[in-house]
Structure 1
Amino acid sequence: MDSVALDKLDQRLLQALQVDGRAPFSRLAQDLGVSERTIARRYQRLRSLGLQIVGHPIPARLGLVRWLLRLRCTPDAAGTIADALARRPDTSWVTLASGGTELYCALNTRTADERNALLLRKLPRTPHVLSVSAHCMMRIFAGATSTWHATRFHVPAPAETSGTADTPLTPDATDRALFAELARDGRATLPELSTAAGRSPSSVQRHLDRLRSEGALGFSVDFDPQLLGYHMTTQLWLNVAPAHLRTVGETLATHPEIAFAAAVTGPSNLVASGVFRTPADLYDYVDQHIGSLPGIQSMETAPTLREVKRLAPALP
């Protein structure tokens, strides 16, 4: 896919939308120093190129635990298994990597029974699945309000833990209706949300304000990095000395190349997703940035071959 002509204003608009995906055009125009008409025109052009803004629940705030599954499959079955996982409502993204024999899947679970049904019963009995490893996301350093895929113009979000000290928020029928509608269009208007939820606009606004203020609702911006000339998305699996895990995770969150970074359980205790233009850029990043970080004992890279599912929030 060829890159397109996007100027600095387009890039700044993408960055502003990552800060607040529902920001009105009037505020975006004021912040960027251009007319509201210009912002509307640029936004519609980006939409025609595939820009999506999606509202989604924050798993930890709703009492959900996020898991990263890593499956090794026979080459002839990996695509079929990935498609089956993508159809599940509890998965948020699925990607194929490593020669088409390995796939990654993000999963949200509320109970041990939900987790075990897939990990202990369903997947081990699936033909052509050679191995399954499940990694609990203990702390998310970058991409806390995003799915696995993010744009090159990543804006680091506050770190999210796998749990919360507060009582998990239990969404009511209106909240669930809003989650479903915002999953289709994060910038749906108040009248559209009111119709979808069957509630008055003022009631819908109160629900939105509560969900956002209590950290239960986030917004993700998706714009294909290949359109900007970034053709290599790569998963990085790092084994970091425990004393340096927080430092390395927080440092990765400041790197514009990194769209997602999380401390996870398993042999590799830190996983990240990076977006690069070329293999040479990936090498330079590993050499100049990863190599200088303290406590890194080993690293594995796995370029993404195909994104089967992305920006599909697993609804509560």
Structure 2
Amino acid sequence: MDAIDRRILTALQRDGRMSITELAAEVGLSPTPCARRLARLERDGLIQGYGARVDQAQLGLPVSVFVWVELETQTREAIDAFERAVRAFDRVMECHLMTGSRDILMRVVAADLSDFDRFLEERLMRVPGIRSLRSSFALRTMVRRHVLPVS
């Protein structure tokens, strides 16, 4: 990956809807070589897809809850089973396997506290293999970035 590839990635993270002509002009290439580079970045998996960033609050899901999960066992099978279960929950926006005393950290979105309570009782607490759950509600988001540093 060279400096032009980095400029392509930076530009597309800022505006994934720009045309190949606009992208080429921004990175200093003609459209055809720019399109070839873009196709290579997609093929190599550096660009994994395109999508719209939707405002969580305006969609009616203003609450973000961080949930720490401790599993009963930390075997590969237990972790895989938990992962398969939570992949089915569309309210789970992120799920990370962590180091330390707690095994998993998730970010869950909800309409309100009652909505989150329903999610806990009807979905998450029914996943086998969980030893304990701890939740923290985000009061406000201070920093949220969608653009990775490409240096």
**Unmatched runs of 5 consecutive residues or more in structure 1:** 1-5, 154-255, 257-316
Match for residue 54 of structure 1? 51
Q: Does 1:38 align with 2:28?
A: no
The partner residue of 1:27 within 2, 22, 30 is 22
Distance of 1:118 and 1:48 partners within structure 2:
37
Q: Does 1:7 align with 2:9?
A: no
Counterpart of 1:10, as a letter, is: D
TM-score (normalised: structure 2) = 0.80
Q: Deviations over 1:269-292 (max 9, x none)?
A: xxxxxxxxxxxxxxxxxxxxxxxx
C-alpha distance in 2, partners of 1:62/1:88? 17
The structural deviation recorded for 1:41 is 0.9
User: What is the SS of the residue equivalent to 2:6?
Assistant: helix
| Residue 49 (structure 1) shift | 1.2
Provide, for residues 99-138 of structure 1, a one-character-per-residue CA deviation record: whole Å limited to 9, x for no partner: 7x61122222123332002334543454321221222232
List runs of 5+ in structure 2 lacking aligned partners.
none
**Cα distance, 1:98 vs. partner?**
1.6
> In the TM superposition, what is the alpha-carbon distance from 1:7 to its structure 2 partner?
0.6
C-alpha change, 1:140 and 1:85, in structure 2 (3 Å) is: farther
| Contact kept? 1:67, 1:135, Cα under 8 Å | yes
Q: CA deviation at 1:152?
A: 4.1
- Distance verdict in 2 for CA 1:56–1:142, change over 3 Å: closer
In the alignment, the residues of structure 2 paired with residue 39 and residue 68 of structure 1 have an alpha-carbon distance, to the nearest angstrom, of: 40
Residues 127-164 of structure 1 deviation map (CA, whole Å, 9 limit, x = unaligned): 32122122223214132xx4xxx6443xxxxxxxxxxx
Which string of whole-angstrom CA distances, capped at 9 and with x for unpartnered residues, describes residues 11-56 of structure 1? 1111111111111111111111111112211111011012122224
1:58 is paired with a residue of what secondary structure? Answer: coil
Indicate conservation of the 8 Å contact 1:70/1:103, yes or no: yes
Instruction: Determine which structure has the larger strand proportion and give its number.
Output: 1
Partner of 1:75: 74
TM-score (norm 1): 0.41
Q: Which whole-Å CA distance do the structure 2 matches of 1:140 and 1:59 have between them?
A: 15
- Identity among equivalent pairs (%): 24
> Is the contact between residue 64 and residue 109 of structure 2 (CA under 8 Å) also seen in structure 1?
yes
Alignment RMSD: 2.4
Q: Distance in 1 between matches of 2:127 and 2:87?
A: 15
